[in-house]
């Protein structure tokens, strides 16, 4: 019975995480059109009603999904067909599996069983995320090569160079928080960020590692191949690794890109903004005698643990939504970099700054310990 219960709990957590990720991804297909329309004083998506309801164009995502499903699925006759078919799957799968190690809450007790609100609790969670997240580039370059199109191949080569370059910057920027919090397990890292500095400042990653955050943010945008770093998908140059794709295979590349946005926003929230934590909110596992808001000046608002869990999950989702909005804002504000500028930003600016941050962090930690 214990094994069956563990399986059921695991499936429920997987279903919840998939629902969260896909909900954000689907809403992004709408926000991708609505946000720039508002920025440019246009109406944007609003022409797909259901039973007369438009709901600000939200049904456009459903209409576009059906359009992609029924659209012709073209496969280049001179391409490598097996690799061409597998490439979108290889791109989508790592984007889905990496969210498993990101905690969306602390824990909750149901029928005497304590359940961690995290699909996969690994003591090397950050390494797992970086390792599997880097696999998506294989699907991108495979799709560009298997299309047997020189422009697709050029887009795939650009994607490999860009992704590998900025993965280095992301990895080095994460080392600073690892040094400060002393753990690779994301759940422990989030719980440590609920401590207070000087008795009132939340010990979030952005407070103790501001330079690491400023390195991670542009590197994460470049890793998702979004404007202003969208060289692998240079539509105006008729160059892109997905140039020969159509229908739902193109949609899988499109969906994988949005899921990657959600994953990197979730990791940004986890590393630098306290994850699911709300400042001064604790549950009974952290504060004996009952949870709730406990403020530095002594005031307290008691809350049942179930409300603490709900508020924290809501806070986690709200933080992800904010960083998704921020990435869309950057996309529709800045023009595309030239390729030499793209590489210079990564190798000559972000990576040296990340190394400086690691050295400064080490010096500060040694000074505090002495």
Can you state the percent helix, strand and coil of the chain, rounding each to 5?
65, 5, 30
Determine the Cα–Cα distance for residues 286 and 308; give it in Å rounded to an integer.
12
201 bridge partner residues: 197
**53 φ, ψ to 5°?**
-95, 130
In this prediction the pTM is 0.91
Q: Cα(46)–Cα(310) distance, rounded to whole angstroms?
A: 32
> For residues 250 and 74, is the Cβ–Cβ distance under 8 A?
no
- Pick the range with the lowest mean pLDDT from 41-45, 219-223, 236-240, 281-285: 236-240
Report the share of the chain in percent with pLDDT over 90: 33
For residues 244 and 231, give the distance between their C-alpha atoms in angstroms, rounded to a whole number: 17
Q: Would you say how long the chain is, in residues?
A: 370
- CA atoms within 13 A of residue 153's CA, in its CB half-sphere: 8
**Residue range 180-202, pLDDT digits in tens:** 999 999 999 999 998 888 888 99
The torsion angles phi and psi of 241, rounded to 5 degrees, stand at -65, -25
User: Token pair of 188, please?
Assistant: 């422990």
Task: Work out the pLDDT band at 359, boundaries 50, 70, 90.
Answer: very high
């Amino acid at each position: 019975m214990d094994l069956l219960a563990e399986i059921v709990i695991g499936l429920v957590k997987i279903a919840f995480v998939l629902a969260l990720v896909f909900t954000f991804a689907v809403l992004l297909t709408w926000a991708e059109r609505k946000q720039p329309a508002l920025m440019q004083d246009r109406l944007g998506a609003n022409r797909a009603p259901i039973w007369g309801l438009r709901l600000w164009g939200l049904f456009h995502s459903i209409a576009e999904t059906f359009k992609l499903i029924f659209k012709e699925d073209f496969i280049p006759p001179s391409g490598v067909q097996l690799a061409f078919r597998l490439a979108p799957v290889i791109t989508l799968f790592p984007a889905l599996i990496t969210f498993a190690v990101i905690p969306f809450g602390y824990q909750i007790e149901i029928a005497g069983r304590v359940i961690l609100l995290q699909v996969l609790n690994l003591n090397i969670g950050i390494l797992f995320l970086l390792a599997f997240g880097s696999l998506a580039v294989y699907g991108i370059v495979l799709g560009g090569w298997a299309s047997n199109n020189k422009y697709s191949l050029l887009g795939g080569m650009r994607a490999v160079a860009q992704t590998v370059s900025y993965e280095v910057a992301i990895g080095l920027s994460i080392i600073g928080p690892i040094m400060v919090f002393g753990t690779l397990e994301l759940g422990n890292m989030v719980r440590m960020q609920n401590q207070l500095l000087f008795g009132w400042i939340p010990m979030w990653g952005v407070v103790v590692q501001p330079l690491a955050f400023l390195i991670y943010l542009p590197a994460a945008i470049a890793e998702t191949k979004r404007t202003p770093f969208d060289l692998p998908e240079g539509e105006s140059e008729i160059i892109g690794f997905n140039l020969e794709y159509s229908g739902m295979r193109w949609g899988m590349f499109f969906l994988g890109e949005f899921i990657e946005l959600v994953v990197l926003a979730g990791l940004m929230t986890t590393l630098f903004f306290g994850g699911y934590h709300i400042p001064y909110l604790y549950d009974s596992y952290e504060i004996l005698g009952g949870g709730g808001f406990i403020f530095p000046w002594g005031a307290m608002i008691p809350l049942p643990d179930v409300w603490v869990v709900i508020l924290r999950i809501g806070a986690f989702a709200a933080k992800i939504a904010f960083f998704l909005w921020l990435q869309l804002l950057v996309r529709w504000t800045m023009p595309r970099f030239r390729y030499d500028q793209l590489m210079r930003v990564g190798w000559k600016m972000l990576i040296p700054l990340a190394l400086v941050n690691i050295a400064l962090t080490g010096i500060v930690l040694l000074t505090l310990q002495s």
